Each structure stands twice: as C-alpha cells, then as structure tokens.
C-alpha cells in the first residue's frame, strides 16, 4: 500500500493518496485545492482514481473535487450531514469558498461502512463535532481524521453547526479507544499517534 500526502490550497490542508500499487487503484482523501497536482501524480504512478473520500465538507478540503471528478470519473463519498456544504453552505464560513464548484456526491457513507480500493479496506467512522458530518477513515493502524483531531490540538467548533461537546465525544469514544500505536494523519499539520494525543493533547486531558 502506498500513502502520500499533498499540502494543498491557501489553508495548507493535507490531501492523502491511498493506493493499491498492485491493482493500480487509489482513493484521494480531501482534495482541497491544486487538483492538477493530484491528477498528475496519479498519472505518473499509473493509478486509476476510483474514489474521492471527504472527511467533511469545508471548502479547504473539497475545492479540488469537481475537477478531479470530471477528469477521472472518480466517485465521491461523504456524510449526508455535510452535503449542505457542497451546495453553498461554505459561503457563510469563508467568502472565498463561494467560488468552489459544486459536485455530485455518488454515495453517502455512515459509521462502520467499508470501502474497498483493490485489496485495501477502508472503514468509515463517524466523528461529528467540527461539522455535523465529520468522518474519520481507518485503514489498518492508520486514521485519517480530517479536522477532528490534530497533533496537539482539535478541530474548531465555532463555525456554523459545530459542536465542542460532540467533537470531544467523537474523539474520546471513537478514536482514543484505539491502540496507542495507531497513526493519526490529520487534515492539517504533522502526523501523530493515538498514544501521543491521549498523553499530551491539552484538549483531551
């Protein structure tokens, strides 16, 4: 399995490429900008982009979706609870997000759903709080948490429909129950582990 990270857009959001190199299939998590960079890298590796997986619907995580979808035919998966953000809901958060092209969501996923890329199984974990439809994607001992959990911090909850209580519950009941060595790949910043966040994250102690 191949995992690569791109730091994209004005807000420096992490976008992840998850690939089964044998099957030449991949998924893209949170393409928040510079879609050509992602498309070109996949072509360079000879990978077919099967899915675009969205941890949530904020503009800095979805700005590149429309172009990648139109050029590759990739199917978009996200929570139905964040669909409103795809169709104009981002404009009230950051004005420049008004320019994001809407796109069709191909499937809405829920807690414990699974998505297969070649021989890779991706488990969906619902982690609301930063947004109502926040998702975390789990692959073996790796978590892709979007803006739910960061190294030494947590997602903002002061945006419309954010909930600090829900966010803390999501982290404590869905993420911190996992083993210490599980790696956390967040929506911004450096990777960390569940153990590090359990021990050192000031918001969780």
* pLDDT tens digit sequence for 161-193: 999 999 999 999 999 999 999 999 999 999 999
182 close to 194: Cβ distance less than 8 angstroms: yes
Q: Which fold, 2-204?
A: Metallo-beta-lactamase; Chain A (3.60.15)
Can you tell me the distance from the alpha carbon of 106 to that of 86, in angstroms, rounded to the nearest whole number? Answer: 13
Domain parsing of the chain, residue ranges: 2-204
For residue 58, the SS3 value is coil
Q: What are phi and psi of 22, to 5 degrees?
A: -70, -45
Angle between helices 65-72 and 35-45 (to 10 degrees): 40
pLDDT digits (tens, 9 = 90+) for 19-63: 999 999 999 999 999 999 999 999 999 999 999 999 999 999 999
């Amino acid at each position: 399995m191949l995992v690569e990270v791109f730091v994209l857009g004005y807000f420096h959001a992490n976008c992840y490429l998850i690939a089964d190199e044998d099957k030449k299939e991949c998924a893209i998590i949170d393409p928040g900008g510079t879609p050509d960079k992602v498309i070109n890298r996949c072509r360079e590796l000879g990978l077919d982009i099967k899915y675009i997986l969205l941890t949530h619907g904020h503009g800095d995580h979805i700005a590149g979706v429309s172009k990648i979808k139109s050029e590759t035919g990739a199917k978009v998966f996200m929570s139905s609870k964040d669909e409103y953000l795809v169709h104009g809901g981002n404009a009230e958060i950051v004005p420049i997000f008004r320019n994001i092209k809407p796109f069709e969501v191909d499937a809405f996923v829920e807690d414990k759903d699974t998505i297969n890329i070649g021989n890779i199984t991706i488990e969906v974990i619902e982690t609301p709080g930063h947004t109502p439809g926040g998702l975390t994607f789990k692959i073996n001992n790796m978590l892709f948490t979007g803006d739910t959990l960061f190294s030494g911090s947590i997602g903002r909850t002061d945006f419309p429909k954010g909930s600090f209580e829900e966010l803390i519950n999501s982290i404590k009941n869905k993420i911190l129950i996992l083993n210490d060595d599980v790696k956390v790949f967040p929506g911004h910043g450096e990777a960390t582990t569940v153990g590090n966040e359990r021990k050192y994250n000031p918001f969780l102690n």
